[in-house]
């Protein structure tokens, strides 16, 4: 996925497994973005805060990150992505993340900061997460990453000022392999 969509754009990943908003904020304040001037920063953070913080606290963390990016990288556009839901079925924690997303969506100004929510692609009509895209109901698998990257690509290309990359085809199933459970 990375090679298909982002390598040609000289992308970099600044997130780490298990990150919470406060850890990302600390790294941004302590040199993580020194000496770079990207056209676009894509921000999706807060899911790991879900068990520990309120939606308002998570939203404040996302807001602080976006404000710091705008301060330190004024020429960089920021695309804030809605925090993925977690847990197979709707839970109170999902409501916390939804509140954080509501707060984050208000950061969009249509000039420097943009917001995109593609969570519907990972959910069934009853609100449960599609196991074929997030088998652990939290992290996208390879197919989930393909769906995610394809969904954000038009906005990424627009904000980068380049042509959208054609959607990466789904990986063919091996002969005799059953379709993944939905």
Write down the pLDDT at residue 179: 52
- Domain ranges, ordered by start, for the chain: 2-10+43-160
Average pLDDT, whole number, for the chain?
A: 90
Each residue's pLDDT tens digit, 38-81: 999 999 999 998 899 999 999 999 999 999 999 999 999 999 99
User: What confidence category does residue 9 fall into, taking pLDDT thresholds of 50, 70 and 90?
Assistant: confident
Write down the pLDDT at residue 173: 64
Segment holding 113, helix H or strand E: strand 113-116
* CB-based contact 79:114 (threshold 8 Å): yes
User: What confidence category does residue 123 fall into, taking pLDDT thresholds of 50, 70 and 90?
Assistant: very high
Q: Any idea which fold 2-10+43-160 has?
A: Rossmann fold (3.40.50)
In DSSP terms, 116 is beta-bridged to: 81
């Amino acid at each position: 996925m990375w090679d298909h969509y982002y390598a040609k754009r000289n992308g970099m990943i600044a997130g780490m497994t298990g990150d919470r908003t406060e850890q990302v904020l600390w790294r941004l304040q302590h040199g993580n973005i020194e000496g770079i001037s990207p056209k676009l920063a894509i921000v999706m953070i807060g899911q790991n805060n879900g068990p520990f913080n309120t939606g308002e606290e998570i939203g404040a963390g996302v807001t602080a990150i976006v404000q710091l990016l705008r301060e330190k990288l004024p020429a960089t556009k920021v695309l804030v992505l809605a925090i993925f839901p977690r847990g197979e079925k709707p839970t109170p924690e999902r409501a916390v993340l939804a509140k954080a997303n509501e707060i984050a969506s208000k950061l969009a100004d249509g000039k420097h900061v943009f917001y995109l929510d593609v969570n519907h692609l990972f959910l069934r009509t009853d609100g449960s997460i599609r196991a074929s895209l997030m088998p652990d109901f939290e992290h996208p698998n390879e197919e989930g990453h393909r769906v995610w990257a394809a969904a954000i690509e038009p906005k990424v290309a627009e904000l980068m000022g380049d042509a959208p990359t054609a959607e990466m085809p789904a990986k063919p199933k091996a002969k005799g392999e059953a379709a993944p459970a939905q």
